[in-house]
Amino acid sequence: MNCISWNCKGLGHPLAIPTLIELVRVHKPNFIFLCETLSQRQRIEEIRIRLNFEGCFSVDCAGRSGGLCMLWKTTSSCKLTGYSRNHIDMQINDAIGNWRLTGYYDFPDRQNRRDSWNLLRRLSGLNTLPWIIIGDFNDLLDPGDKRGRVDHPNWLMQGFRAAIMECELSDIPLSGYQFTWSRGLGTNHFVEERLDRGMATNNWKNLFPEAVLLPVSATISDHVPLLLKCKGSAHPRHTRRFHFENKWCYELDSPL
């Protein structure tokens, strides 16, 4: 199972779709989570068809900000379980077992951080399935997640760490370059941060003990895409498969 997560900074860029097509060709993901799509549902459906994915669900942008989408192949049976402007929550039932995938995007406004941490806590409390959450958290866990002239406020790191600990989440190690976002290259104000990450509960890591997170190349955004590569455990559980109908996405109109 492969999953790509990317803050694409808008799908209106002329190179956005060619970049996605190349990412799919090279990495063959089963799932793609995109944030800051700056797009509406009709545009996402067109992209799904071009990428040859079977299912998708999107959250429309509001003006010139936001927008989320999750796309998936038919190799896993999926159930949409909730969404908001900041997340898309899926339940997956495949040969490995029954588990949960959440695509997450936190707005960069610091005054809303406590609301974001409380959202993570609410998501954590929804069920006890093995859980992975991946996306752009716009938060740092420790000082080593940033390289730049101004230190990241300690209260923000403490608050984020506290929420992650309460959710019983831990990082999936990022193999390769550790910073996923940058700004001001070639200037005295250059800064790099690890804003994008994948985190999982221990029972999810037991299902996918060889999971690894890799940064991959894309030049049209200040965020690098993350590629989650997973292999299941040697003794997968045999569970009844759930058949998902695409039309259900359009019937689910009540956010979490």
Q: Which pLDDT does position 74 carry in this prediction?
A: 74
**Quick one: DSSP state of residue 110?**
G
Q: Which pLDDT does position 55 carry in this prediction?
A: 94
In sequence order, which residues have a C-beta less than 8 Å from that of residue 213 and are 6 or more positions away? 172, 173, 174, 175, 197, 198, 226, 227, 228, 229
For the chain, the domains span 2-251
pLDDT digits over 76-98, tens only? 689 999 999 999 999 999 888 89
Q: Within the chain, which residues score under 50 in pLDDT?
A: 234-254
pLDDT digits over 32-85, tens only? 999 999 999 999 999 999 999 999 999 999 888 899 999 999 766 899 999 999
CATH class of 2-251: alpha beta
Q: Which pLDDT does position 75 carry in this prediction?
A: 60
Q: Which pLDDT does position 63 carry in this prediction?
A: 84
Q: Give me the helices (H) in the chain, please.
A: 16-27, 41-51, 113-124, 154-166, 202-207, 247-251
Name the pairing type of β-strands 31-35 and 2-7.
parallel
Indicate if the alpha-carbon torsion angle 156, 159, 194, 37 is positive or negative. negative
Please report the DSSP string for 7-75 in residue order.
E-S-TTSTTHHHHHHHHHHHH--SEEEEE-----HHHHHHHHHHHT-SEEEEE--BTTB--EEEEE-TT
Q: Which pLDDT does position 107 carry in this prediction?
A: 87
What percent of the chain is predicted at pLDDT more than 90? 75
Residues constituting the chain: 256
**Quick one: DSSP state of residue 213?**
E
Residue 2 CB neighbour total at 10 angstroms: 16
- Characterise 36 by phi-psi region: left (phi > 0), alpha (psi -120 to 50), beta (else): left
Closest CA to 248 of 77, 50, 79: 79
Contact by Cβ (8 Å): 92, 78: yes
Q: Which pLDDT does position 240 carry in this prediction?
A: 41
pTM for the whole structure: 0.88
